[in-house]
Structure 1
Amino acid sequence: MALLTADAIVCAVRAHGEHGAILRALTREAGLVAGYVRGGRSRRLRPILMPGNRIALELRARTEEQLASATVELLESRAPLLAEPLAAAAIDWATSLTAATLPENQPYPALSGALSAVLDAIGVASSARQWAAALARYELLLLAELGFGLNLDECVVTGSTEDLVFVSPRSGGAVSMAAASGYEERLFRLPPFLCGRDGDPAMADILDAMAMIGHFLDRDVLDGRNRDLLTSRERLTDRLGRAVA
């Protein structure tokens, strides 16, 4: 029986058997889903099953416990972006993070829309700065959706909503300039664009945001595991830093 028919974003593909592949894809309706694609390693299907691609996905299974059989049709290819190392690194990180952290079969419509927007931005932006801020916001949203949201609206010490310029690495709460006095070096800088200010941030602000968000991703979501995934993010931030240098 058909379990799901939906547009989806390819997030991860793993070889299975001699010719097949296990696909993990993000849908708006059902969240992250998995399915076995017969012939998924074939010359015809490999270009379709590339992370970042938008596909029409159908999952079928005889029972809910069985790994579904998946059929796919390409709706939008992002393969041309993979020729650009920085764009390729961003797509690899965003899709890998999604596949590694979201529980399966739980809808996250906000994340589905945000990931689609990030991938669209990578495709049309004239510079990395124009999509890197969207990527940082996606990471922040993912933390919130998984129950680890940061409180950037008020000072964790005083409750003030004014002059919020730092973030505590322990609580994930914003800290005002006055409350941070004497402790600045122990805190993360809070880039204004994460609070809805400064709509066109500089790359330095974006890198500060990614450094701060990376701390909480590692601690709260990845829990120090999946070193390869963290290395992928480090390569991306390193390339972003070199792009602005």
Structure 2
Amino acid sequence: MTTKILAVNCNTDTAMTAAIAAIGQAAASPGTTVVGVTPAWGPASAEGYVESLVTATAVLDAVARRTDAFDAVVMAGFGEHGREGMRQLITQPVVDITEAAVFTACLLGHRVGVVTTVASALAGIHDSITTMGMAGRCCSVRAADVHVSSIGDDVARTADALEGTGRAVLADGADVLVLGCAGFAGLDAELERRLGVPVVDGVAAAVRWAESLVTLGKRTSTAGPYAPRDREKVWSGPPLGALRLLT
């Protein structure tokens, strides 16, 4: 069985998209191909509500424009908006790295903590975890004061910042950590070595969840809020061009 998974970056940084796809491919089973997708427009990073809401539409647009066949979508924006819209847009399984990471962490420990980038991202992550029904299992979300754009500038410094913040999250009561940014992908093993607890990378976890759903032959339910939208509804022209998702 061959499986094709789209790993959609939430920002327009093509280097980050390539890194996300590489981490996803490394985690994938033989026969699975992970294809990185970069939105055609939007911010270079999403670090707050405005950028998150804009990237949600850009990500929907990027997938709607695909003309190739694919089996599942991984949404590689931690705590970002759009997963519900994607599930209404397509019937293939949609796995958000936030959900995949937190669900996986809950199988590995009792209390989950998240280490993310900057303070402006915290509220969106809290919202996302609450919406997925896991707020009761998440005891701490802290920012390491590392901007998305600078993650790769000095990986050792980024790892040090995550370690320090991770120790604070553990002190808050967590016994499993989640990396709260797709740009942190690949640092889980190093942080596990330093901190001595399981550390979950959402990109790798999401690819594995997506593979499982495809293997099980499951598709998104259309019996509830993800029912097909009304295609007869009139839409006014969007400011950024005629988005394929509107047609």
Q: TM-score range by the shorter chain?
A: under 0.3
- Using CA pairs under 8 Å that are at least 6 residues apart, name the structure with larger relative contact order, 1 or 2: 2
- Normalising by structure 2, what TM-score? 0.24
Q: Which has the larger radius of gyration?
A: 1
More strand by share: 1
**TM-score (structure 1 length as normaliser):** 0.24
